[in-house]
Structure 1
Amino acid sequence: MTKREIKISKFLSYVLRHHPESIGITLDRNGWTSVTDILNNSKLEFSIEELKQVVEINDKNRFSLNDNLSLIKANQGHSVKIELEFQEIVPPDILYHGTAKHFLESIQKTGLLKGNRHHVHLSKNVQTASNVGKRHGKLVILTIDTKKMHEDGYKFYLSDNQIYLVDFVPPNYLSINEN
């Protein structure tokens, strides 16, 4: 991504996941908003073509456009209240979570908490978990025994961009990935 595309992507994350009111837009109950409203209310001027490009090339597939390009949403990671309509799924036996080493002691005591987001985000592979976790400091990869969690009644969901979601991961299902 170019610097401009990164700037547009960060702007979209900010308004679609956390602060739509910052540019005077509203999200519907599922997180969708008008592309026209985004383009008209943004202080960062960009075209529909640039918007489409950012949605298409975003390495984490953070955003979706509807078929006629009139609506846009963030796929997950919201701190604003919306109704995510994810279908419950059976997760793979093991999933991963990347975090910073300075969070490890707390995580080992309390587990993985969703904080102000709707869910804890888990990855199917170590590389994706690494990309997420390394943003916050010295990287630690956690392995989650999702087979056992699911057997114990925890519900899992899969976002449009293939991120696994769960409300909470208790510490007894976590181990440090030594690879």
Structure 2
Amino acid sequence: MFIKEELFAKNLFLVEPTEKYQRSFKNYTLAYKKINDNHYFTKYEKSLENFEKYSQDLLNYSKGKNLPLGLTNTSTFWLIDDDTVVGVLRIRHKEDEFAGHIGYDISPNYRNRGYGFMILNLALEKALSIGLNEIILTCNIDNIASKRIIEKNNGKLLETIFDEEENEYLYKYIIAIEDN
């Protein structure tokens, strides 16, 4: 199920947030500011103010420590290509009703190059390693790229749901992970 040959050919891998990639992650964050994407810029803005605290918070969240109210344990990884952070992956250890188990985003500077498929493929291996063997994912029904990425990774459509808080319809998928 995992497409390792393609990934290794591109020298891609996931790492937990680390100081080694601080400068690259700063550029990642600023790419969202440049395109006025407040959703993701706000999510990562704290890294610009105090990177050490930001990365420590993410590590704590993966262990269930100091979680913001209403959140579950969430492991965060960065997709690295040639020493550059090109994507961010979040794996929730329990399903979130509207966000599922996995969330990811690719830098605006690196979209439409296959990184979305690759980050989700690597995410499935990480999810399996933390004990998840059925993954729930959601995407906005208008997000054709995300729909394709999920389906290309063997996602099976379960249903369409409505998120009242975000006022949007979502496709809800399942991916059964096999230990390969």
Q: Shared fold by TM > 0.5?
A: no
Considering fraction of residues, name the structure with more strand: 2
Which TM-score applies when normalising by structure 2? 0.31
Which TM-score applies when normalising by structure 1? 0.31
Does 1 or 2 have the higher relative contact order (CA < 8 Å, sep 6+)?
1
